[in-house]
Every structure is written in structure tokens, then in C-alpha cells.
Amino acid sequence: MIKKIIIPLVAIVSLASCSTLRPLDANNNRTVAEKKETKPTKEVKFLNDINVSSGTVSTTAVPSHTKAKTVPTSNAGTSAKERMKLTGAFDKTAAVESVSDVQLKYSILLDMEVENLVGMNLLDHVDEWYGTRYRLGGTSKAGIDCSAFVQAVYLSAFGLMVPRTAREQHAYARKISTTELKEGDLVFFNTGRGVSHVGIYLRNNKFIHASVSQGVVVSDMYESYYLKRYLGAGRIEKQEAMLK
């Protein structure tokens, strides 16, 4: 009798324990699955607010006040002066690009950096005569002498009429020291008797004049021929005021 009672009890207990375990397993499995499904995706954030999320790329515009100022890299349509303003600094290359062909030419003749000749407008006027042959008493492109060359340049460059001969120009000019020489000043030489030759000082100990042997040319004051015959320098007062 007892056996008949025990066997059904054992069966009931076994069934009860199995039914209790199944829901627990199911719930556990569902919990794990939910955790996997609801796991948030990591968001990777890069510079300039570029976000990568779920295989997509999104960008956020950077506020204008945070953007670095840039200078156009293209030279097209931008002058040298404009590029210098944009960079806010002196650009030697830009300076060179802004000079004229005449200034480039005289940078070689005067043995100077070309940017040091920027704004030296006298060069345009003397260059009109460069290479003109020498002719005593001449006053034109067909031939010209030293004092007529000075007279022509002063008239075109400064609007001034100076005396005709080298001796008269020497007397007319205010005498200055060689250390005071500036472009446009006159330099005088004794190539014959007294003041017999004149030239226009440029820079770097160089002057331009109508040479008997070479015509209008640039020479060095320290060449032995001219150094031995150098008499002094003079400045035309009105021309001095115009250069300032």
C-alpha cells in the first residue's frame, strides 16, 4: 500500500520540478537575446564632427568662427600687391614680379637686388637713351653728347630745363659730397680742360652718361679712368625737392 502511494508522489514531484525549470531557461534565454539586441552601437567621433554610426557617415558643418583663415593658392587673377596684402608679410617673390623689365635690366647693370629699384622712375627716362651713339653737339637719338643727354633727361623726368654745357651745369648745381649722392644727382669729370664731362648718378657708385667711345652707357665711378678724372658732384635744387 505504501509503495502504491510513494510511486505516484515521486512522479508528481519529478513533473513539478521539470515544469519549474523550463520557464527559467526560457526566461534566461530571452534575457540574453534581449541584451544582445539592445546592445547600443558605439559611435566613433572624428575631427570636425564627422561621425560614423551603423555603417553611415555624417558630417556637421564647422562653425565659421572656428575655421582657419586661408589664402588663395592660385595666382590667377591675383596681383603681387594683392598677394602681399593677403599674406600680411613682405613676399620677395611678389616684389620681383611687380617690377618692370627696365628695372630688371638695371638691377644687372647696377649690380643690385631688383626689389631695391622698385619705384625708381628715373630709370624709364634714362633708358630711353640707352645705347644712343655719341656725337659732339648732338641733341637727338641720332647722336647726343654728355650735357645734352643730361638736359634731355632732366626735362622728361623732372620737367626742368638745365644749362646746355657740362661747365654751365656744374656752376648751376649745388655742390655736394660724394657720400651724399642720390639718384638723379650730377657727377662731373675733367676729361679735357676743366669740367668737360657730366653724367647722372643712379645707385651703387654707378652713373649713366654719353660716353665718347660707347655712347649712352652705365659706368662705375671707381673705374680707374673716371676715378682719376672725377671732380665732384652736384645737385639741382628743384630736382632734389621733387625726389623727396
Catalytic residue among 18, 125, 146, 170: 146
Q: Which residue in the block uniquely carries the three cell numbers 552601437? A: 41
| C-alpha cell at position 136 | 659732339
Task: Look at residue 132 and give its three-state secondary structure.
Answer: coil
The answer to whether the CB of 213 falls within 8 A of the CB of 205 is: no
d(CA 9, CA 66): 80
Query: Would you say 106 and 117 are in contact if contact means Cβ atoms under 8 Å apart?
Result: yes
Say which of 18, 65, 125, 209 is annotated catalytic: 209
Site of grid cell 638723379: 184
In sequence order, what E strands does the chain have?
44-45, 50-53, 56-59, 139-140, 143-144, 174-176, 186-189, 197-201, 206-211, 215-220, 230-235
Q: Is residue 65 flagged as an active site residue? A: no
Active site residues: 146, 197, 209
